[in-house]
């Protein structure tokens, strides 16, 4: 099915517009896969070991790694619910031929962008364009999770671990959820600001530590939720065992 349907028309990676029943079982949150299939598969194997079946991904899915289409297809097969990040929107809306690099690093980035755009094709690019900027998830105890890539008020502006409380509150917008799940910084953390709990889930494919992949598991309870943040290591290259 994947080979004949690369855009993922079956099992699309997207957030449904309709409301769904409150989550009662453990759910996994990932972000910033950046086309790194090895890192994604390593995390998924760990989630399978933990018995976590429901998957949410907070954007920046494909750009940056060597297997963007394979990452997309893997997410489709799992029925992952995704929001989009800035790199997803760029792949959906920017013509690689319009890029004008000014130095060697920009030329390298432009080549990588063009290669990723060619690999995923027009249909997947359109699927990326249709991904929402945020997705709300009701929990068993009546609380709500809001997942977005950057922040609820500005999806392209990240919430970092050291941002002052007043700036965090401004980025939560005027209709925040109880728990805000985000990515973008590639650094996982949790912090509580007033009555809101912010959970940055780090990065699967581009962690600053190198060759580790972050994941977060939220387990709903009748009064609150347990949140586990952890990581798994993976190896790249011909010497990987």
Name the percent of the chain lying above pLDDT 90.
85
**CA-CA-CA-CA dihedral for 150, 151, 156, 159, to nearest 10:** -60
Can you give the pLDDT at residue 10?
A: 37
What is the value of pTM for the model shown?
Answer: 0.90
Q: Output the CA torsion sign for 186, 190, 192, 196.
A: positive
Nearest to 153 by CA among 137, 169, 136, 135: 169
Q: Measured between alpha carbons, how far is residue 177 from residues 30, 38, 182 in Å?
A: 18, 33, 12
Parse the chain into domains and list their residue ranges: 27-233
Can you give the pLDDT at residue 238?
A: 47
Q: What is the pLDDT of residues 183-231, one digit of tens each?
A: 999 999 999 999 999 999 999 999 999 999 999 999 999 988 999 999 9
Given a cut of 70, is residue 7 above it in pLDDT? no
Q: Which two tokens stand for residue 39?
A: 């890192």
**Bridge partners of residue 215, in order along the sequence:** 230
Q: What is the pLDDT of residues 150-193, one digit of tens each?
A: 999 998 899 999 999 999 999 998 888 999 999 999 999 999 99
Contact status, residue 196 vs residue 188, Cβ threshold 8 Å: no
Over range 11-31, report the average pLDDT.
76
Q: What is the pLDDT of residues 51-108, one digit of tens each?
A: 999 999 999 999 999 999 999 999 999 999 999 999 999 999 999 999 999 999 999 9
How far apart (Å, rounded) are the C-alpha atoms in residues 86 and 84?
Answer: 7
Torsional class of 78: left (φ above 0), alpha (ψ -120 to 50), beta (otherwise)? alpha
Given a cut of 90, is residue 21 above it in pLDDT? no
Q: What is the pLDDT of residues 34-50, one digit of tens each?
A: 999 999 999 999 999 99
Can you give the pLDDT at residue 20?
A: 73
Classify residue 4 by burial, with Cβ atoms within 10 Å: 0-12, 13-18, 19+. exposed
How far apart (Å, rounded) are the C-alpha atoms in residues 145 and 78?
Answer: 21
Instruction: Indicate the CATH number for domain 27-233.
Output: 3.60.21.10
Secondary structure (3-state) at 40: helix
Q: Measured between alpha carbons, how far is residue 139 from residues 16, 72, 101, 166, 208 in Å?
A: 16, 27, 46, 27, 31
Can you give the pLDDT at residue 175?
A: 80
Q: Measured between alpha carbons, how far is residue 163 from residues 58, 104, 188, 193 in Å?
A: 20, 33, 14, 11
Rounded (5°) CA angle 152-137-172: 20
């Amino acid at each position: 099915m994947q080979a004949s349907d690369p855009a993922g028309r079956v099992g699309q990676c997207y957030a449904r517009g309709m409301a769904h029943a409150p989550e009662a079982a453990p759910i996994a949150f990932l972000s910033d896969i950046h086309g790194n299939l090895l890192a994604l598969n390593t995390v998924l194997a760990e989630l399978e070991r933990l018995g976590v079946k429901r998957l949410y991904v907070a954007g920046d899915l494909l750009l940056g790694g060597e297997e963007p289409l394979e990452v997309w297809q893997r997410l489709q097969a799992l029925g992952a619910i995704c929001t989009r990040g800035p790199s997803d929107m760029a792949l959906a809306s920017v013509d690689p031929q319009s890029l004008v690099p000014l130095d060697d690093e920009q030329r390298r980035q432009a080549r990588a962008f063009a290669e990723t755009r060619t690999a995923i094709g027009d249909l997947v690019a359109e699927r990326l364009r249709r991904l929402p900027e945020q997705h709300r998830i009701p929990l068993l105890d009546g609380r709500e999770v809001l997942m977005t890539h950057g922040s609820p008020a500005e999806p392209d502006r990240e919430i970092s671990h050291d941002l002052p409380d007043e700036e965090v509150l401004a980025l939560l917008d005027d209709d925040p959820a109880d728990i805000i799940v985000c990515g973008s910084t590639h650094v996982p953390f949790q912090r509580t600001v007033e009555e809101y709990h912010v959970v940055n889930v780090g990065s699967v494919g581009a962690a600053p530590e190198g060759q580790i992949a972050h994941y977060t598991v939220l387990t709903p309870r009748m009064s609150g939720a347990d949140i586990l943040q952890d990581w798994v290591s993976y190896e790249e290259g011909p010497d990987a065992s």
